[in-house]
Amino acid sequence: MLIEPCAWEGAWSGLEADNYAGLYGNRSSHPTKGFSMPKSYAIAAEDIAAETARVDGDLTNFDVSRVIALSDVELREMGPGDVHLRILAVSAEHNVDHAALADTVNIAEARGGKIYPGNSALGEVIAVGEGVTRFAPGDIAITHCNGEPDAHGYPLRIWAYDQPESIGWYGEEAVVADWQLIPAPLDCGLNLWEIAALPLRAPTAYHLWRRAIGIYRVKVERRQRSQLTVLGFGGGVSELFLMIAAQEGHRALFCSGSAERRAHLEGLGIEGIDQHEFNRFASRDDVRAFSKHVKGLTGGEGAHIVCDMLRGPVFAAGLQVMARMGVNVSAGWQLDTAANYNSANLSVRQLTLDHVHFETIEGSAAATELYGRVFRPTVHKEIYAFGDLPRAMEEMHQNVQTGIPIVQVAADLPDSVASLVP
């Protein structure tokens, strides 16, 4: 099906249709020229059901690449406050894994049988609505995933997940409102793939950190205690969280099963702990051994701040090693949604558990200021082609990547970012 051209024409500013076609290069998806519709990845409830049946309900054998499929997407008509983006690169994100597995909620089914996932992207502006002043054609922008801010600016819903009608950015093109975009900090010192690794994970880490340190400082003021021990468990968000902690002068410990990620962080002054040495906390003895190790590293005191993100066995291990007055923060539930604890024990130790979702829009912009200065993400060694996005998601699911997975969506990158491609 083709998009009606007339509604687009009036909303463009700063660019004539012919120039617009020029920005596309040789691509054949110009909506006003009668070419094909843009392609985008989708997750359909019927494919989830088929894969669940194939593995007989055993999610350990589930192949997420079998339920993430390329599909035509009908972009909404451009409004005066809208921006038309050509997606250049995206990062694979775990919420897509959760959507494909339907392990937290079957979001594809809840949204009518299909979602278009992907809520972290870097794109080139190819047209703007007449009311848009923050962006012009040719600009490079990054996204945030706050789909609908509440009265305090925090998301009620997440874009390309539970925000109704939202179409994600694992596609060739997108139309978004300008408030969903932040100018990409191309001069921050990071390469293009490193910048593309950060739009979702960096604001999450930033929010987790400002909550954790704020809560800790309510209990123990800076004049009483300056340097803290901060522990994070594997994953892209935790590593960024630890980069802020280290930058602010704290001692940072990264407990991960990935030697490559630990090595990268050690280069930034963040100490590594091999999670496999503690059998990923499979038994109580493993948790005790881990606790003894961390207490040994910290003169018996433990970690003042713990970033969990995974729950499951990691949650118990994180609680065990916490120092008095400690704060445990998480915005994820990769291994389990439930977290059991002894309230009396936590009260006596003055521990706080904080549950975080996602940043405000202004917080997302503030996090972007730290690209390159603080955030220096690990990037998986393979940059995936657009057609390999389902494999990228499955390899993330299998936890065999060496860093944050990046997918190059546009084969032809604009000159403005050419020098940033390593």
Task: Decide: is 380 part of the binding site for ligand NAP (CB under 6 A).
Answer: no
What is the C-alpha separation between 48 and 54, in angstroms, rounded? 10
Using rule CB under 6 A, residue 283 touches ligand NAP: no
Among 23-31, 78-86, 251-259, 369-377, the segment contacting ligand NAP (CB under 6 A): 251-259
Q: In the chain, how many H helices and how many E strands?
A: 15, 18
Query: What character string, x for contact with ligand NAP (CB under 6 A) and - otherwise, covers 83-122?
Result: -----------xx--x------------------------
* Binder among 99, 121, 200, 215 for ligand NAP (CB under 6 A): 200
| Cβ proximity to ligand NAP, 95 vs 229, nearer residue | 95
Angle at 68 between CA 381 and CA 334, to 5 degrees: 70
- CB–CB of 167/159 below 8 Å? no
Which range touches ligand NAP (CB under 6 A), out of 127-135, 167-175, 233-241, 365-373? 233-241
Q: Binding to ligand NAP by residue 237, rule CB under 6 A?
A: yes
State how far the Cα of 127 lies from the Cα of 398, in Å rounded to an integer: 38
Amino acid at 238: S
399 part of the interface to ligand NAP, by CB under 6 A: yes
CA distance 270 to 253: 6
Among 119, 275, 291, 352, binds ligand NAP (CB under 6 A): 275
Of residues 128 and 204, the one with the C-beta less far from ligand NAP: 204
Which residue, 135 or 281, is less far from ligand NAP as judged by CB? Answer: 281
Quick check: 305 and 230 in contact, CB under 8 A? yes
- Asked whether the beta carbons of 368 and 182 are under 8 A apart, the reply is yes
Using CB under 6 A as the binding rule, the residues of this chain from 28 to 67 that contact ligand NAP are none
Does 367 interact with ligand NAP (rule: CB under 6 A)?
no
Task: Give the single-character DSSP code of 235.
Answer: S
- Binding string, 292-311, against ligand NAP, x = CB under 6 A? -----------------xx-
The two three-digit tokens of residue 410, written as one number:
């546009």
In the list 117, 123, 168, 236, the residue contacting ligand NAP (rule: CB under 6 A) is 236
* Residue of this chain nearest to ligand NAP (CB atom): 332
Angle between the 236-247 and 259-266 helix axes, to the nearest 10 degrees? Answer: 20
CA-based nearest residue to 114, from 183, 41, 171, 177: 41
Residue 87 or residue 396: which is nearer to ligand NAP going by CB? 396
Q: Taking a C-beta distance cutoff of 8 angstroms, is the pair 316, 309 a contact? A: no
163 is a contact residue toward ligand NAP (CB under 6 A): no
Distance between CA atoms of residues 305 and 215, nearest Å: 10
Question: Considering only CA atoms, which of 237, 242, 278, 271 is closest in space to residue 257?
Answer: 278
Contact footprint for ligand NAP (CB under 6 A): 94-95, 98, 200-201, 204, 234-238, 256-258, 261, 275, 280, 309-310, 314, 331-335, 357-358, 396, 399, 404
